[in-house]
Amino acid sequence: MTESGTDIGAHGARLTIDLGAIVANWRMLSARGAADCAAVVKADAYGCGVSRVGPALLEAGCRTFFVAHLSEGVAARGALPEAAIYVLNGLPPGACEPFAAHGLRPVLGSPEELSEWAAFSGGRLPAALHVDTGMNRLGLPVPEALALAGDPRIAACGIDLILSHFVSAEKPADPVNARQIADFGRVRAAYPGLRASLANSSGVFLDGARHDLLRPGYALFGGNPTPEAANPMRPVVRLEAMITQVRNVEAGASAGYNGRWTAPAPSRLATLSLGYADGFPRAISGRGQALVGGVPCPILGLVSMDLIILDVTAAPAARRGATAVLIGDGLDIDTVGRAAGTIGYEILTGLGSRYVRIYVG
């Protein structure tokens, strides 16, 4: 065993990220319309690492990237010297200088942001305009956006893109989608000549939502953009942890903190060297599964900081040094998210940095 490198024993667990699958997913989404396809790489590319994901997508032909924060934009710029990088959370007070210094484009969403950027840039630097069609979170409300069309401040801000964001794109039957598509269409018509972008991952699968630029994030990383149907995306992340010990217990024995689980019958338990400090959610305690030799094994009791206990009674492959799959082989991020009472997005973006990370493809 080596001390570091790619050795699962030294780190307890291993995260494998398939860059080829991310590129294949981007190509698949791109092919769904005439629109250009960007990549949303906020939160360090949904936990997958913007310094690796960014260049892989650039090489595949992606030219436009979105992050949430200025600091993420600076990190993305380091990996993507020439790409267009938009910062979704907008312009913090007094931040024009670093935006310009790193060639980042703020997504402006309030009169204050527009005024500050206009005064600084005088139309010489590009930016986007965020229109709020229903989230009440970021961006100008539709009436304000319509009223501002043709205002000299728009030209003075160098606006080259208008965008809005869906409330419920993953629920195609929700009537809010049609309302947002209609409202965004009206705003777009008031700003002729600008590129328009509405679709996140799920929005790519909604009719009338694709416009000029797609803005997928989650689906690039293997999340299901169509949760009411089979997942059309290729899986990207695989999380495996090493088994440190296997033991037999009698009926009535308990396992883990607070003895949350009691053996209903004589059982075989395996201890995995991964826990909530690795970003594997404690909320999955007693509800999730891992695969050992392909056999689904229930997670028992409470997830510890560094360890998880599995019932491997039905899994003959369980032994010290063998690995258990926590994400992968059909156990996808959406399933893990559901078992933890959350969404796959939170599982992905919470992926830890303690275990060894391997990039393939």
Q: Which residue is nearest to ligand PLP (CB)?
A: 217
First to last CA, the chain: 25
Query: Does 40 contact ligand PLP by CB under 6 A?
Result: yes
Query: Does 211 contact ligand PLP by CB under 6 A?
Result: no
Query: Does 217 contact ligand PLP by CB under 6 A?
Result: yes
Query: Does 210 contact ligand PLP by CB under 6 A?
Result: no
Give the shortest CB-11-to-ligand PLP separation in angstroms.
Answer: 28
Looking at the Cβ atoms of 233 and 292, the one nearer to ligand PLP is: 233
Q: In sequence order, what are the residues at sequence separation of 6 or more whose Cβ sits closer than 8 angstroms to the Cβ of residue 300?
A: 255, 256, 260, 261, 269, 286, 309, 310, 311
Looking at the Cβ atoms of 304 and 349, the one nearer to ligand PLP is: 349
Query: Does 201 contact ligand PLP by CB under 6 A?
Result: yes
Give the shortest CB-165-to-ligand PLP separation in angstroms.
Answer: 4
Query: Does 106 contact ligand PLP by CB under 6 A?
Result: no
Query: Does 268 contact ligand PLP by CB under 6 A?
Result: no
Own/partner contacts of 150-155, CB < 8 Å, gap of 24 or more, are 150/190, 153/114, 153/115, 153/118, 154/114, 154/129, 154/191, 155/123
Under 8 Å between Cβ of 213 and 37:
yes
Output the 3-class SS for 310-343: EECCCCCCCCCCCEEEEEECCECHHHHHHHCCCC
Looking at the Cβ atoms of 26 and 218, the one nearer to ligand PLP is: 218
Q: Which stretch binds ligand PLP (CB under 6 A): 118-126, 176-184, 217-225, 346-354?
A: 217-225
Looking at the Cβ atoms of 64 and 323, the one nearer to ligand PLP is: 64
Give the shortest CB-171-to-ligand PLP separation in angstroms.
Answer: 13
For 136, counting Cβ atoms within 10 Å of its Cβ (0-12 exposed, 13-18 middle, 19+ buried), the class is exposed
Q: Which of 216, 337, 318 is CA-nearest to residue 270?
A: 318
Looking at the Cβ atoms of 13 and 39, the one nearer to ligand PLP is: 39
List, in sequence order, every beta strand (DSSP E) within the chain. 13-18, 36-37, 39-40, 64-67, 84-87, 105-108, 127-132, 140-141, 159-163, 195-197, 213-214, 237-249, 254-255, 261-262, 267-272, 289-292, 295-300, 308-311, 323-327, 356-360
Catalytic residue among 42, 86, 191, 345: 42
Looking at the Cβ atoms of 219 and 290, the one nearer to ligand PLP is: 219
Q: State residue 115 phi and psi, 5-degree precision.
A: -65, -45
Please tell me the distance from the alpha carbon of residue 143 to that of residue 157, in angstroms, as a whole number. 19
Q: Which stretch binds ligand PLP (CB under 6 A): 19-27, 114-122, 212-220, 233-241?
A: 212-220
Give the shortest CB-48-to-ligand PLP separation in angstroms.
Answer: 12
Give the shortest CB-254-to-ligand PLP separation in angstroms.
Answer: 40
Applying the rule CB under 6 A, the residues between 109 and 168 that interact with ligand PLP are: 165
Query: Does 200 contact ligand PLP by CB under 6 A?
Result: yes
How many chain residues bind ligand PLP (CB under 6 A)?
11
HSE, CB side, 13 Å, CA atoms: give it for residue 48.
35
Q: Out of 26, 99, 205, 218, which residue is the one contacting ligand PLP (CB under 6 A)?
A: 218
Query: Does 289 contact ligand PLP by CB under 6 A?
Result: no
42 is catalytic: yes
C-alpha separations of 293 from 2, 239, 317, 335 in Å: 24, 14, 5, 19
Catalytic residue among 46, 191, 218, 257: 257
Give the shortest CB-46-to-ligand PLP separation in angstroms.
Answer: 7
Q: In sequence order, what are the residues at sequence separation of 6 or more whose Cβ sits closer than 8 angstroms to the Cβ of residue 104?
A: 70, 73, 74, 77, 85, 86, 87, 98
171 is catalytic: no
Query: Does 88 contact ligand PLP by CB under 6 A?
Result: yes
Residue numbers annotated as active site: 42, 257
Binding site for ligand PLP (CB under 6 A): 40, 42, 88, 165, 200-201, 215-219
